[in-house]
């Protein structure tokens, strides 16, 4: 009976997190999505309600979340597949989160040098089931790369090394805070990998770090990653919120458990949330909601 009650409580808590702030469309908060290009990288940018007027009239400066997608994805993934506008509007409308700007780069494209991007850009757009997307409708897409095209993408550290410059361009374009306590970064899967390694490579830049079903361990060949363990310790000294979410059936589950063991052996604090299920958008939406509620 105790186990059944515990299972019921877990299910109820998850459903509450996902549905408590759902509101009819006509009562939404009316945040907007803007398309932009920063440092040559396509981006979707979520702006709080009345952003332009508030910036012009009150000179408001907003907290910022840099939110990254997974392997083969695009800047549209969080808005189309992750329903980000719905969650941001709903949670903002009922006061569960602070108002913020969310910048969603095409971190897959941003991870390759300019001279290698053409093969990535020209790759076929497919659904996860292998069928073509109707890209004329602005759908999020996956890129189906040939083996030759795939060689154009490597976890080379290129994106991590350029991310400070990317932030500086974002800060010149939008009224967003440069204070680490009002700056967050998060990502899923490959975007979780980039989030992790950006956050310690730039170890004093983020007060909130969210890893959703992340890839953890870097290749040995990239110089940017050579001192990653030392840099994680430096990042931890700044005491950010270091939040991780993982499904028990996720193919990356064991990798994250190995990393958690390393963190504990090194006395590094973190927050861990484990859910049912695997490498899915249902989980990533849940993790996003839980994470941004901590961004206070």
- E-strand stretches of 132-270: 142-144, 183-188, 208-212, 241-247
Given this model, what pLDDT does residue 237 score?
95
d(C-alpha 125, C-alpha 121), whole Å: 10
- Tell me: the pLDDT tens digits for 152-211? 566 778 899 999 999 999 999 999 999 999 999 999 999 999 999 999 999 999 999 999
Given this model, what pLDDT does residue 139 score?
58
Q: Please give the residue range of the domain that contains residue 115.
A: 2-293
SS3 letters across 147-173:
HHHHCCCCCCCHHHHHHHHHHHHHHHH
pTM above 0.75, yes or no: yes
Residues facing 101 on adjacent strands: 64
Given this model, what pLDDT does residue 20 score?
45
d(C-alpha 23, C-alpha 40), whole Å: 36
Q: What is the mean pLDDT of the chain?
A: 86
Q: What is the CATH number of the domain that holds 96?
A: 3.40.50.1820
- Tell me: the pLDDT tens digits for 206-265? 999 999 999 999 887 678 898 999 999 999 999 999 999 999 999 999 999 999 999 999
Number of domains in the chain: 1
**Residue 21: pLDDT over 60:** no
What's the pLDDT band for 66 if we cut at 50, 70, 90? very high
**Residue 6: pLDDT over 60:** no
């Amino acid at each position: 009976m105790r186990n059944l009650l515990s299972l019921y409580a877990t299910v109820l808590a998850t459903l509450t997190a996902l549905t408590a702030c759902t509101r009819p469309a006509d009562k939404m908060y009316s945040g907007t999505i803007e398309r932009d290009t920063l440092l040559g990288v396509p981006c979707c940018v979520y702006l709080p309600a009345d952003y332009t007027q508030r910036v012009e009239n009150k000179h408001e400066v907003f907290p910022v979340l840099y939110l990254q997608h997974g392997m083969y994805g695009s800047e549209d993934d969080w808005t189309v597949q992750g329903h980000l506008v719905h969650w941001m509007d709903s949670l903002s409308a009922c006061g569960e989160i602070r108002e913020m700007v969310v910048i969603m780069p095409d971190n897959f494209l941003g991870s390759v040098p300019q001279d290698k991007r053409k093969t990535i850009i020209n790759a076929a757009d497919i659904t996860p089931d292998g069928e073509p997307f109707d890209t004329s409708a602005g759908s999020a897409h996956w890129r189906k790369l040939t083996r030759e095209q795939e060689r154009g993408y490597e976890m080379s550290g290129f994106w991590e090394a350029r991310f400070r410059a990317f932030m500086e361009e974002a800060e010149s374009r939008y009224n967003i805070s440069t204070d680490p306590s009002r700056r967050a970064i998060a990502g899923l899967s490959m975007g979780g990998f980039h989030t992790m390694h950006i956050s310690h490579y730039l170890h004093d830049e983020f007060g909130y770090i969210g890893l959703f079903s992340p890839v953890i361990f870097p290749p040995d060949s990239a110089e940017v990653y050579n001192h990653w363990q030392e840099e994680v310790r430096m990042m931890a000294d700044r005491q950010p919120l270091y939040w991780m979410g993982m499904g028990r059936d996720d193919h990356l589950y064991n990798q994250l458990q190995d990393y958690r063991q390393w963190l504990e052996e090194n006395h590094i604090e973190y927050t861990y949330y484990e859910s049912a299920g695997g490498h899915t958008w249902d989980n990533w939406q849940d993790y996003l909601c839980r994470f941004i509620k901590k961004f206070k």
